Structure 1
Amino acid sequence: MKKMRILARDVDPETGDVSYFKAGHTSRLEAVKGERAPKPPTKGQKAARRRRKKQHYAGCRPRPLFHTSTPKLHEDPAERFRLKQEVFANAGNRCVYCGARYPLTLDHIIPLSKGGGWHKENLQCLCAPCNEAKADMMPYEQAA
């Protein structure tokens, strides 16, 4: 008989029974309650799931490339300020979404966390409430 490595243990608060989860158990329920684990999906079910996923993502725009190089403007405050003033001037010192004039912030259309960069085409002028509502969403993730 093969020895199995213990991965975790669970203590039942009512009875004080200890049950161990071992490698090879397919679900926690099986280890705790002694029930049988659900059957794995068939090839047909897997194919149907892949088709549904493909259909769901068919209308989405492609994700940006994450390895694009952009200038390190956060290291040069003067260059960053100049770029910020240029973006604000192009937007007419108004929020792009709601048209508010105050308080304006600089926003990345494609967020830095998702591969966006510090270039003029990726920056826009938003008021603080609109910028907070946008958060780090991509343009196609926002509600229309």
Structure 2
Amino acid sequence: MSTDMHKPRTAYWHLWADEQGVSHQNRCELSHFEQQSMSGAAPQWNDVQARGDATVIFAVLPVGWVGDWHPNPKPQWIVPLSGRWWVESMDGQRVEMGPGEVSLGEDLNCRKDDQGRIGHRSGTVGDEPARLMIVQLHVEPVGAPCHLR
């Protein structure tokens, strides 16, 4: 067992909508880790999130794929398994992510702006498909950045 007793932190990108319906991305951290055993295994660091109904989707975005302006269908965690993808929010910020990076998509309350943009755009990066695991949460979105800790 590790003797490192410092609680870890895990970064994630949070795509959310403000009160004016504009999407933004913030770099956030999960930080409520506790050492726990799972089914009798050696203790590990876990940051347990709220329990609830969820749907797990595995998606493959082909090379060159672009999803034009759209909001997330539900609050959802998006975890790249292989390949790379990007997300551009309405405020113009573009973030690229690959394996080991995580995004929480919560831009459901966006409003179409005068340029016809709503939510975000996303697409693949490079010459291989982006394979993603998506965990859709059946909850209402929260209109504030970094509300999960």
> TM-score per shorter chain, which class?
under 0.3
More strand by share: 2
More helix by share: 1
**TM-score (norm: length of structure 2):** 0.22
**TM-score (norm: length of structure 1):** 0.23
Larger radius of gyration: 1
